[in-house]
Amino acid sequence: MGWWGKKDRGGGTLVVKMENPNFSMVELEAFSDDDENENFLITNDNNNKRRNKNAKQLTWVLLLKAHRAAGCLASLPLSFFSLASSIKRRVVSGKTDTNTNNNNNNNSIKTRFYSCIKFFLFLSLLLLCFEVAAYYNFKGWHFTAPNSKGVFDWVYSMWVFVRVEYLAPVLHFLANVCIVMFTVQSLDRLVLCLGCFWIKYKKIKPVANVSDADLESGDKGFFPMVLVQIPMCNEREVYQQSIAAVCNLDWPKSKLLIQVLDDSDDITTQSLINEEVEKWQQEGANILYRHRVIREGYKAGNLKSAMNCSYVKDYEFVAIFDADFQPTPDFLKRTVPHFKDNDELGLVQARWSFVNKDENLLTRLQNINLAFHFEVEQQVNGIFINFFGFNGTAGVWRIKTLEDAGGWLERTTVEDMDIAVRAHLHGWKFIYLNDVECQCELPESYEAYRKQQHRWHSGPMQLFRLCLPDIISAKISIWKKFNMIFLFFLLRKLILPFYSFTLFCIILPMTMFVPEAELPIWVVCYIPATMSFLNILPAPKSFPFIVPYLLFENTMSVTKFNAMISGLFQLGSAYEWVVTKKSGRSSEGDLVSLINEKSPKHHRGVSAPDLEEMKEEIQRQEEKASKKKKHNRIYMKELALAFLLLTASARSLLSAQGIHFYYLLFQGISFLLVGLDLIGEQVE
Q: Is residue 30 predicted with pLDDT exceeding 50? A: no
pLDDT (tens digit per residue) in 46-68: 555 555 556 666 777 777 777 77
CA-angle at 480, arms to 487 and 186, nearest 5°: 20
**Bridge partners for 347 per DSSP:** 397, 430
7 three-state secondary structure: coil
pLDDT (0 to 100) of residue 37: 47
Residue 507 to residues 382, 519, 524, 640, 664, Cα–Cα distance (Å): 37, 9, 11, 15, 12
Paired with 256 in beta bridges are 226
Average pLDDT over residues 384-409: 95
- Any idea where the domains of the chain sit in the sequence? 226-444
pLDDT at residue 94 is higher than 80? no
Residues 6 or more apart whose CB falls under 8 angstroms from that of 150 comprise: none
**Cα–Cα distance between 251 and 328 in angstroms, integer?**
12
Q: Is the pLDDT of residue 136 over 60?
A: yes
Residue 207 exposed, middle or buried by CB count within 10 Å (0-12, 13-18, 19+)? exposed
Cα separation, 222 vs 214, in Å, equals 6
Rounded to an integer, the average pLDDT of 156-175 is 87
> 614 and 476 in contact (C-beta within 8 Å)?
no
Q: Is the pLDDT of residue 461 over 60?
A: yes
pLDDT at 194 over 90: yes
Mean pLDDT of 543-561: 92
- 113 or 210: which leads in pLDDT: 210
Using pLDDT thresholds of 50, 70 and 90, give the confidence band for residue 661. Answer: confident
- Check whether 202 has a pLDDT greater than 60: yes
Query: Residue 29 CB: number of other CB atoms within 10 A?
Result: 12
CATH classification for the domain delimited by 226-444, as one of 3.10.450.100, 3.90.550.10, 3.30.830.10, 1.10.10.10: 3.90.550.10
The better pLDDT of the pair 143, 327 is held by 327
Quickly count: other Cβ atoms within 10 Å of residue 522's Cβ: 13
Cα–Cα distance measured from residue 404 to residue 402, given in angstroms and rounded to the nearest whole number: 6
SS3 432: strand
For 584-622, the pLDDT digits (tens) are 665 444 433 433 433 334 444 444 445 455 545 555 555
Catalytic residue among 97, 262, 263, 677: 263
Computed over every residue of the chain, the mean pLDDT equals 79
Confirm whether 263 is a catalytic residue.
yes
pLDDT given at position 1:
43
Contact indicator for 347, 389 with CB cutoff of 8 Å? no
**266: region left, alpha or beta (phi > 0 left; psi from -120 to 50 alpha):** beta
Provide the pLDDT confidence category of residue 295 given band limits of 50, 70 and 90: confident
- Please tell me the predicted confidence (pLDDT) of residue 643: 87
Q: What is the pLDDT of residue 647?
A: 87
Tens-digit pLDDT profile for residues 241-253: 999 999 999 999 9
Whether 619 contacts 635, CB under 8 Å: no
Find out whether 451 and 404 touch, Cβ atoms under 8 Å: no
Percent of the residues in the chain that have a pLDDT greater than 90, as a whole number: 43
The beta strand positions in 12-155, using DSSP E, are: 13-16, 26-29
In this prediction the pTM is 0.77
Q: How many Å apart are CA 34 and CA 37, to the nearest integer?
A: 5
Q: What is the mean pLDDT of residues 2-30?
A: 42
pLDDT in tens, 402-414: 999 999 998 888 9
Sheet architecture: strand order including 226-232:
287-291, 256-262, 226-232, 317-320, 395-398, 345-354, 429-440
pLDDT recorded at residue 50? 54
Q: Exactly one of 322, 324, 416, 677 is catalytic; name it.
A: 416
Q: What is the pLDDT of residue 61?
A: 72
Amino acid at 408: W
Q: Is 517 helix (H, G, I), strand (E, B) or coil?
A: helix
Out of 50-64, 363-377, 433-447, 492-506, least confident range: 50-64
Q: How far is CA 677 from CA 442, 497, 632, 673, in A?
A: 17, 21, 6, 6
pLDDT at 114: 64
Strands 226-232 and 317-320: parallel
Q: Residue 121 to residues 115, 207, 263, 505, 659: CA-CA distances in angstroms?
A: 10, 56, 44, 11, 21
Cα–Cα nearest to 445, from 273, 276, 246, 674: 674
Task: Please report the pLDDT score of residue 660 as a whole number.
Answer: 84
Name which residue leads in pLDDT, 77 or 628: 77
